[in-house]
C-alpha cells in the first residue's frame, strides 16, 4: 500500500491536450503495472493511457448543456441499473412502462440509450456527433471523478456508490471476463484495489468528490447508495423521478407505474433479454475488441463479498476506507445505515417466507450468516 500512496502524492495536474502533445504529457506521469496494461496516475486518478487520453479530450471538447443530467458512477457500482431506471423514468410518457411490449430497454442496452461521455473519444476522434444529436434534456453517463469533469459542466448529477467490498469483487470478475487473454489473480487485484490502483481509482477519492459536491449543492447533485436502492427500489425510483423533474402523479402511483419501472429495470428482467445476454455491443472495450452486453450482468447482489473475502481481507479494506472517509460525516454514517436497512429487509423477507411472526434474531442470523 505504501507504493500506491507514494505515487498518489506525486500526482500532477494534467492539462487537456490532443495528438502527440497528449502522448508526451501521458508519458511523464507516474505509472503502475498489474492490470491488463500500464496504468498512469492522471491528476490523482489511476487509469490506462487510452482512458486518460479520452478524459483529456472530453475536458477539451465536450459541449455541455444546462439541462443535461449526468449519471456518474465508479465502475461496477450499479451503472447499468441506474441508466435503465433513469431512462425508463425520464421517458415513460413517450415509452410507457405499463404493458411495455415495445419499450427500448427490451431491445437496446442501457449503455446505448444512455451513452458515456468519455467513450466516443476512445479512438482519439473529435466529439462524436451522436452525443450532439441527442435531443435535450440528455441523459449521459460517466465514470470520471468529479474533479476531472469538464469545467463548464453545471448540470444536475446523479451519483451512485456501492459497498467497496462488493465493488472489488465485481471489478475482478469484469476484468477477467471482458479482456481477452487477460487473467489476474484475485489476491493481486485486491491488493491493487486497496492501494487505490483500480480503473478510475482510488475509489474513496471518487466517492468523496461527488459526496462533497452533494453537500455543497444538494439540489444539483443527488447522492445514492446501491444497498439502499436494493432495500427500497420503489422509494428510490420516486426520488429519482423528483430529481429528474418528472415526478410521478398520484394516478401513476395508483396504477402501479412505479412498480412497473422497478420490474422492467430489474436484474432478473434485463439480464435475460436477448439484447443483454447474447448480442455483441456496438462499442469496443478497454482492449479495443467488441464487447458483449452480457459482461455488464453478473449477479446484481448485495454483500456477495462474503463469498470471496477472508475476514482479514475484509478488515483491511474496511480500514483503508475508514481512514480515507474520515471527516466525511454522513457519508460514513450513511454507509453503515445502508447495511442496517439491507439486513432489516432480509429479516422481513425471511419472516414472510417462513410465515413466522415471532422470528428470533438468533435463528435469523444462524440461517443467514453467510450472506449477512
What share of the chain in percent tops pLDDT 90?
51
| 321 and 358 inside one domain | no
Would residue 143 show up in a list of annotated catalytic residues for this protein? yes
Return the CATH number at 83: 3.40.50.300
CA dist 92 and 372 (Å) reads 36
- pLDDT, greater one: 9 or 77: 77
On the CB side of 324, CA atoms within 13 Å amount to 21
User: What is the three-class DSSP state of 22?
Assistant: helix
- pLDDT, greater one: 322 or 359: 322
State pLDDT tens for residues 132-189: 888 899 999 999 999 999 988 899 999 999 999 999 999 998 888 877 778 899 999 9
Question: Beta 31-32 vs 39-42: how paired, if at all?
Answer: antiparallel
Axis crossing angle, helix 203-216 with helix 164-178, rounded to the nearest 10: 120
Quick one: average pLDDT of 354-369?
53
Domain membership of residue 149 (yes or no) is yes
| 217 and 243 inside one domain | yes
Residue 326 has pLDDT above 80, yes or no: yes
Query: For the sheet containing 139-142, what is the strand order?
Result: 139-142, 69-73, 156-161, 221-225
Overall domain count for the chain? 2
Domain membership of residue 45 (yes or no) is no
| Per-residue pLDDT, 277 | 76
Domain membership of residue 21 (yes or no) is no
- DSSP structure string for 186-198: HHHHHHHHHTT-S
Q: Which of 95, 123, 125, 143 is catalytic?
A: 143
- Grid cell for residue 5: 500512496
| Per-residue pLDDT, 169 | 92
CB 226 within 8 A of CB 42: no
Q: How many CB atoms lie within 10 A of CB 274?
A: 10
Element of type H or E holding 71: strand 69-73
CA dist 37 and 47 (Å) reads 10
Element of type H or E holding 75: none
Q: What is the mean pLDDT of the chain?
A: 81
Domain membership of residue 182 (yes or no) is yes
The pTM of the full predicted model, rounded to 2 decimals, is 0.81
Which residue, among 73, 198, 205, has the nearest Cα to 144 in the 3D structure? 73
Domain membership of residue 37 (yes or no) is no
| Per-residue pLDDT, 13 | 45
Element of type H or E holding 120: none
Per DSSP, which regions of the chain are E strands?
31-32, 39-42, 45-48, 69-73, 139-142, 156-161, 221-225, 280-284, 290-292
CB 81 within 8 A of CB 87: no
Residue 256 has pLDDT above 50, yes or no: yes
Domain membership of residue 324 (yes or no) is yes
| Per-residue pLDDT, 272 | 85
Domain of 371 in residue numbering reads as 340-372
| 346 and 288 inside one domain | no
Amino acid at each position: 500500500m505504501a507504493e500506491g500512496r507514494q505515487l498518489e502524492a506525486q500526482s500532477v495536474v494534467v492539462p487537456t491536450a490532443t495528438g502527440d502533445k497528449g502522448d508526451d504529457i501521458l508519458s511523464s506521469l507516474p505509472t503502475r503495472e498489474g492490470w491488463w496494461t500500464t496504468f498512469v496516475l492522471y491528476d490523482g486518478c489511476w487509469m490506462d493511457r487510452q482512458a486518460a487520453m479520452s478524459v483529456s479530450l472530453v475536458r477539451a471538447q465536450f459541449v455541455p448543456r444546462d439541462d443535461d443530467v449526468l449519471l456518474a458512477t465508479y465502475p461496477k457500482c450499479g451503472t447499468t441499473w441506474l441508466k435503465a431506471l433513469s431512462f425508463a423514468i425520464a421517458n415513460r410518457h413517450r415509452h410507457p412502462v405499463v404493458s411495455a411490449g415495445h419499450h427500448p430497454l427490451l431491445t437496446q442496452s442501457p449503455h446505448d440509450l444512455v451513452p458515456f461521455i468519455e467513450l466516443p473519444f476512445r479512438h482519439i476522434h473529435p466529439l462524436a456527433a451522436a452525443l450532439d444529436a441527442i435531443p435535450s434534456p440528455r441523459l449521459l453517463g460517466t465514470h470520471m471523478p468529479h474533479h476531472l469533469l469538464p469545467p463548464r459542466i453545471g448540470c444536475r448529477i446523479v451519483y451512485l456508490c456501492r459497498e467497496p467490498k462488493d465493488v472489488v469483487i465485481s471489478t475482478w470478475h469484469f476484468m477477467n471476463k471482458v479482456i481477452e487473454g487477460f487473467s489476474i489473480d484475485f489476491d493481486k487485484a485486491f491488493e491493487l484495489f486497496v492501494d487505490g490502483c483500480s480503473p478510475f481509482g482510488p475509489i474513496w477519492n471518487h466517492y468523496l468528490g461527488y459526496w462533497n459536491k452533494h453537500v455543497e449543492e444538494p439540489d444539483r447533485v443527488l447522492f445514492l447508495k446501491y444497498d439502499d436502492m436494493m432495500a427500497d427500489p420503489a422509494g428510490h425510483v420516486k426520488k429519482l423521478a423528483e430529481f429528474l423533474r418528472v415526478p410521478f402523479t398520484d394516478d401513476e402511483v395508483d396504477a402501479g407505474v412505479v412498480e412497473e419501472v422497478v420490474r422492467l429495470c430489474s436484474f432478473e428482467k434485463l439480464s435475460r433479454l436477448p439484447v443483454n445476454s447474447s448480442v455483441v455491443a456496438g462499442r469496443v472495450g478497454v482492449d479495443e475488441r467488441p464487447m458483449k452486453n452480457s459482461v455488464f450482468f453478473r449477479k446484481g447482489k448485495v454483500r456477495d463479498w462474503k463469498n470471496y473475502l477472508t475476514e482479514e481481507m475484509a478488515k483491511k479494506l474496511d480500514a483503508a476506507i475508514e481512514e480515507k472517509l474520515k471527516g466525511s460525516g454522513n457519508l460514513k454514517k450513511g454507509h453503515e445505515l445502508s447495511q442496517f436497512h439491507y439486513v432489516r429487509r432480509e429479516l422481513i423477507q425471511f419472516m414472510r417466507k417462513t410465515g413466522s411472526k415471532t422470528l428470533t434474531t438468533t435463528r435469523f442470523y444462524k440461517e443467514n450468516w453467510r450472506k449477512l
